[in-house]
Amino acid sequence: MAKMKMHLLVCGGTGCHASQSEVILSNLKEIVREKGLDNEVQVIMTGCFGFCEKGPIVKVMPDNTFYTEVKPGDAREIVEEHVIKGRKVTRLLYTDPENKKHVSDSKHMGFYKKQLRIALRNCGFIDPENIDEYIARDGYEALGKVLEAKDPQQTIDIIKKSGLRGRGGGGFPTGLKWEITSKSQADQKYVVCNADEGDPGAFMDRSILEGDPHSVIEAMAIAGYAIGATKGLVYIRAEYPLAIERLKIAINQSREYGLLGTDIMGSGFDFDIELRYGAGAFVCGEETALIHSMEGNRGEPTFKPPFPSVSGYLGKPTNVNNVETFANIPVIINKGAEWFAAIGSEKSKGTKVFALAGKINNVGLIEVPMGITLREIIYEIGGGIKDGKKFKAVQTGGPSGGCLTDRHLDTPIDYDNLIAAGSMMGSGGMIVMDEDDCMVSIAKYYLDFTVEESCGKCTPCRIGNKRLYEILEKITQGKGTLEDLDKLKNLSNVIKDASLCGLGQTSPNPVLSTLDNFWDEYIEHVTVKKCRSNQCKALMQYIIDAEQCVGCTACARNCPVNAITGERKLAHLINQDICIKCGACMEKCKFNAISIK
Amino acid sequence: MEMIKLTIDNKVVEIEKGTTVLKAARKIGIEIPTLCYFELKGMNIENKPGGCRICVVEIAGRKNLAPACATEVMEGMVVNTHNIRVLNARRTVLELMLSDHPTDCLVCAKAGNCELQSMAQQLGVREIPYQGEQSTYRKDTSPSIIRDVDKCIMCRRCEMMCNDIQTVGALSAVNRGFTSVVAPAFEMNLEKSPCTYCGQCVSVCPTGALTEVDHTRNIINALADPTKTVVVQTAPAVRVALGEEFGMEPGQIVTGKMAAALRQLGFKYVFDTDFAADLTIMEEGTELLGRLSKHLAGDTTVKLPILTSCCPGWVNFFEHNFPDMLDIPSTAKSPQQMFGAIAKSYFADKIGVDRKNMVVVSIMPCLAKKYECQRDEFKVDGNPDVDFSLSTRELAHLIKQSNIDFNTLEDEDFDHPLGESTGASVIFGATGGVIEAACRTAYEVFTGKKLAKVDFTELRGLENIRQATIDFDGLPVNIGIAHGLGSARKLLEEVRAGKSKFHAIEIMACPGGCIGGGGQPYHHGDIEILKKRSAAIYQEDAGKPIRKSHENPDIKKLYEEFLGTPCGEKSHHLLHTHYFDKSEEVIIND
């Protein structure tokens, strides 16, 4: 970015991409050229900025102007006003929801203030399809250092000392994993990057691969050198076409630059990377299942030990790390283990990327230091609950995480605290729920997912989760009994205790955590047959207040099943046996006479 | 060997490194229940996916319960196999399994032999608290095997047998979660898969998910039909296993009781497949010597090694997998089919019965025989040489249904002429037996000398692949033996690559040979049962007055009266067959 006076960064993440950011990019380029500014202003497409709620995003550097919800037609105004005349396009600036004022640059936006971007350092900053931009940001310096030091153990020691733990969910110490693999003797070892990212709603790995693929490639080569592997494999889900494309471009560029292939940087070290496509099975995020899938076998886990670090892909020692874990590696090597270890909490170092979703104002991708509280994330970065509703719960850790309540809002978030609270870090999904969410239905929703995604190998997961789902379904239908709650508890505990892999061992978490934290709601559902959030249709009743009803017949005329009777100008009545709870009557009533009981 | 010391249920046990908690527990008399786990010790057959979770135990310091079958012992490990946490998990897991299992145990083919049923009994399950939807799947009936996947508990033993041991690859898990089933590729029926009908999946299935096609009704009907002359033949391996179905010790020889029972059942002629086995040796042995002599005379076109062809599972296997080598196996029919061909020609003529009015039933340790007897090339004008093939298990059912007290029966003999046999034919039932029988005859015919020692012990044993060189009076003949189709594949790949040094190879589809056949009484993974059956086979051989096929007087008579010479024109017509390329028969897009 040396000679340019100004840079226009257009978000090329999947969300913005889907909202025509590519047209915005070409419009900006064309207008810049038209104005003869090619030599001063560079327009590039970057990876995700994270603030997906307000995409498509265009950022202007060096002044950090952050334009939101940009349309292709806004390109001319941005160039003519901002670039040429130096006047910011106010209407495209982010509006602070508190004081309704425009925020002139990203540094003053609540969404970014508390973030610390290490893994996402280059996302939204560089052109992911241009290796020079990565190199300009200290790219491949870490690999150079490692190769120059000629001491694989030293590299492992740095990672160990940094305290980095696996970001895919398990939280296993990365340095230790590398060390075990390095000590396994074999003629061939493998470095595998787990880019399967199966948690619905989580997209940090995709964003990193789309926005900064070289950081992963560099880290894989470093891992290869540290453990003694010359082959790297990226297991990536086929539903990530943009990430796949950018990764392919990046791999080819690295080969051209001699940063992959034989005799890298003249060190004598050989390393190359191939892609393997996954079909999108959640269970293939589990490392043994992932390996079997790569081998062309059924994607199902096998019992550990043996761990992949001893016997993995094709029976050879294999080091499997997740995308986000890898993205941290080059920075740790460059800035040192101490620097990294100073960030975060006592046992969880560094940062974590979360995909913030649900009933929250600022939906998007955030990276925060470990140890931050849920309150800071939800209210400061996330901008609070949508429509001023009341916070009820936050579900962390993807479908097999747990639901935490306002009791946990001030708990510092790290691997161990989340587990102690009955949830988990997982790959970093964070779904916020408000007072309108029924926690029994939420548990059922997640179980529906795990029932679908269980591989079927072990009994507790295959049949147990199905039975859990059926009991939850029964409860939401108003047919649950107190005995069912006991069954839920026992079954959940056994599935957790006796399942073969991480999927089954965590799948009952949504049930157990909601039983723990929202016991009252379960009791209401099974005893008084009431859903306080009015989400369980079978437990709802639409009733007409005879005092308010004027007998206009609008409700009766609009009822699709003729459940409403009554004489003109007299109070009407809903026959509960016929009512299908569609809500059409309430919508049509002009006198507020119909309510839900 | 490094030893590991650990504590199980407060008892200290010392055991070799690499062993599992399950085996360590067994060593000190603690029998942890298992369901998906399966082992045939000493045959390299082991299934331990750790999937059923019945054998879970608590290991101090570990967060989750661990499957004893798949967990390796570690120094200082403290294991609890029956505390409340373990018992509750084990019971709940079983209750879950039962909640997705049909409860038609009263009429299930596996009733009384079902390991799931036994487990429910062992754990004292009296109700199924978790009720819900049951996974269902279409029933698949093939000529030999019925798949009733609703009864599958996903133990994956069949998959292990079919893929790892047999390398047939007809069965594997498909679909996911609650809807996962074990099925042929693309969920085709078995008939459209590369299934060889060896029946090893059936022999290891713990429940009624895989069973044989039951023909006992057809037999009862045929026996009741006054227009039919019903003839029965019994294979060598049946007589050393049938007794198990009546509570006898494995390895008990019940040849005489079996003949008596068959007669009581109403079979008009009770014959012996062993007779046809002697006939097989005459034909196959002659073929071997023919090829060998040509080879020695410098003929480079002659195909060697010659492969035995008496095992129909094996025939199916090479038709599917080695269609480029169909000219290598012997063209001799299996003993079952030789018997049928002779019974419905030579013998039918002798007693003046039209072949259409003769019903030939075979009692076999095998399920592939059910398919074999239905093959078109073994029919004359649509009338099969062998009408029905029953497994050892089906015969036991038939005997029980007919109120015959098998254990107290007086021994009886087979009928003549198709009931006379030699020791050579008896050993067809064990791996290595066919080639030993062939050697006994081929040696004497080739050298013109009497064998000093009839027993070729170097050809016996249970190793998956064996080899020996037999001295044919100065001519070293290299013999290869494989049992289990995976082992067979290895030898065949060598032949295909032109690297085989053998002159003759015996192949049996089932591990152990016919004594371990898919139609035998269930061994439930007890290798001792197979060993005892094998020992009984050789004991029966040793007790026979005649032990070489070419010395069987009724065989000699058959050639004199009817066939002429071995591999002659009539033999060629009645006793030899040809093979088909079935590699294209596996239909993927139907």
Residues of A in contact with B92 (CB under 8 A): 460, 464, 490-491, 494, 498
- Band the pLDDT of B586: cuts 50, 70, 90: low
A-side interface with B, Cβ within 8 Å? Answer: 281, 298, 300, 302-303, 305, 451-467, 470, 487, 490-491, 494, 496-500, 505
Q: Where are the domains of chain A?
A: 6-109, 131-340, 351-434, 439-528, 541-596
Tell me which fold the domain A6-109 belongs to. Glutaredoxin (3.40.30)
pLDDT at A532: 93
What would the two tokens of residue A225 be? 């050198």
Instruction: Please tell me whether residue A291 adopts helix, strand or coil conformation.
Output: helix
Side-chain half-sphere of A581: how many Cα atoms within 13 Å?
Answer: 12
Is residue B328 within 8 Å of B496, Cβ to Cβ?
A: no
Distances (CA, A) of B354 to A559, B218, B229, B233, B347: 79, 20, 9, 19, 10
The vertex-A342 CA angle with A341 and A344, nearest 5°, equals 85
CB atoms under 10 Å from CB of B419, counted, come to: 19
CA distance A481 to A471: 10
- The tens digit of pLDDT for each residue in B84-102 reads 999 999 999 999 999 999 9
Distances (CA, A) of A117 to A49, A103, A110, A125: 11, 21, 15, 11
Residues of A in contact with B155 (CB under 8 A): none
Q: Choosing among B53, B97, B156, which should be mutated to test the A contact, i.e. which has the most A CBs within 10 A?
A: B53
Kindly indicate whether the domain formed by A131-340 is annotated with CATH number 3.40.228.10: no
Q: Which residues contact B75 (CB under 8 A, 6 or more apart)?
A: B4, B5, B6
Is residue A498 within 8 Å of A542, Cβ to Cβ?
A: no
Q: Could you report how far apart the first and last alpha carbons of chain B are, in Å?
A: 55
Tell me which fold the domain A351-434 belongs to. Ubiquitin-like (UB roll) (3.10.20)
CATH code given to domain A541-596: 3.30.70.20
For the annotated catalytic residues of B, the residue numbers are: 284, 287, 310, 330, 369, 372, 377, 514
What would the two tokens of residue A299 be? 């994607």
Distances (CA, A) of A133 to A125, A138, A250, A546, A574: 9, 9, 12, 71, 67
- Judged against a pLDDT cut of 60, whether residue B590 lies above it is answered with no
With 0-12 CB in 10 A as exposed, 13-18 as middle and 19+ as buried, what is A314? exposed
pLDDT at B371: 97
Q: Choosing among A497, A503, A505, which should be mutated to test the B contact, i.e. which has the most B CBs within 10 A?
A: A497
Kindly indicate whether the domain formed by B216-275+335-421+554-563 is annotated with CATH number 3.40.50.10490: no
CB atoms under 10 Å from CB of A136, counted, come to: 12
- Judged against a pLDDT cut of 70, whether residue B588 lies above it is answered with no
Q: Could you report how far apart the first and last alpha carbons of chain A are, in Å?
A: 63
Type and span of the H or E element at A392: strand A391-396
Shortest Cα distance, chain A CAs vs residue B248, angstroms? 36
List beta partners, residue A396. Answer: A430
- Judged against a pLDDT cut of 50, whether residue A304 lies above it is answered with yes
Distances (CA, A) of B326 to A494, B378, B507: 54, 18, 15
B545 reaches A (C-beta below 8 A): no
* A159: nearest Cα among A180, A178, A181: A178
* A261: nearest Cα among A134, A148, A143: A143
CATH architecture of A439-528: Up-down Bundle (1.20)
pLDDT at A3: 73
- Judged against a pLDDT cut of 70, whether residue A411 lies above it is answered with yes
- The tens digit of pLDDT for each residue in B12-59 reads 999 999 999 999 999 999 999 999 999 998 888 999 999 999 999 999
Give the E-state strand segments of B109-228 in sequence order. Answer: 140-141, 145-147, 172-174, 181-183, 210-212
* A402: nearest Cα among A496, A324, A473: A496
Q: Averaged over A83-108, what is the pLDDT?
A: 88
Q: Averaged over B338-344, what is the pLDDT?
A: 97
CATH architecture of B3-122: Roll (3.10)
Percent of chain A with pLDDT over 70: 100
- The tens digit of pLDDT for each residue in B112-160 reads 999 999 999 999 999 999 999 999 999 999 999 999 999 999 999 999 9
CA distance B194 to A550: 75
Q: For tokens 């001030």, what's the residue?
A: A410
Please state the three-class secondary structure of B418-477 as a single string. Answer: CCCCCHHHHHHHCCCHHHHHHHHHHHHHHHCCCCCCCCCHHHCCCCCEEEEEEEECCEEE
- Minimum CA–CA partner of B185 in chain A: A298
Phi/psi at A51 (nearest 5 deg)?
Answer: -90, 60
Phi/psi at A344 (nearest 5 deg)?
Answer: 100, -165
Superfamily of domain B288-330+422-527+537-552: Fe-only Hydrogenase (Larger Subunit); Chain L, domain 3 (3.40.950.10)
- Judged against a pLDDT cut of 60, whether residue B472 lies above it is answered with yes
CATH 3.10.20.740 domain extents, chain B:
3-122
B72 reaches A (C-beta below 8 A): yes
What would the two tokens of residue A538 be? 């079978």
- Judged against a pLDDT cut of 80, whether residue B63 lies above it is answered with yes
Is residue A571 within 8 Å of A544, Cβ to Cβ?
A: yes
- The tens digit of pLDDT for each residue in A531-540 reads 999 999 899 8
List beta partners, residue B4. Answer: B15
Type and span of the H or E element at B505: strand B504-508
- Domain B140-212 -> CATH class: alpha beta
For B96, which of A305, A456, A463 is closest by C-beta distance? A463
CB-CB under 8 Å, A463 with B49? no
Out of A111-115, A338-342, B280-284, pick the least confident.
Answer: A111-115
- Judged against a pLDDT cut of 60, whether residue A310 lies above it is answered with yes
- Judged against a pLDDT cut of 70, whether residue A1 lies above it is answered with no
Length of chain A as a residue count:
597
Q: Report the amino acid identity of residue A530.
A: K
Q: Averaged over B358-364, what is the pLDDT?
A: 98
CA distance B183 to A88: 65
Q: Averaged over B334-345, what is the pLDDT?
A: 97
CA distance A560 to A582: 9
pLDDT at A2: 45
- Band the pLDDT of A15: cuts 50, 70, 90: confident
- The tens digit of pLDDT for each residue in A440-451 reads 999 999 999 999
Q: Report the amino acid identity of residue A300.
A: E
Out of A415-424, B252-261, B411-420, pick the least confident.
Answer: A415-424
- Minimum CA–CA partner of B156 in chain A: A457
- Judged against a pLDDT cut of 70, whether residue B587 lies above it is answered with no
* A427: nearest Cα among A286, A236, A224: A286
pLDDT at A200: 79
**Average pLDDT over chain B, rounded to an integer:** 95
What would the two tokens of residue B545 be? 């007055």
The DSSP bridge pattern shows strands A231-237 and A190-195 to be parallel
- Minimum CA–CA partner of B130 in chain A: A467
Percent of chain A with pLDDT over 90: 83
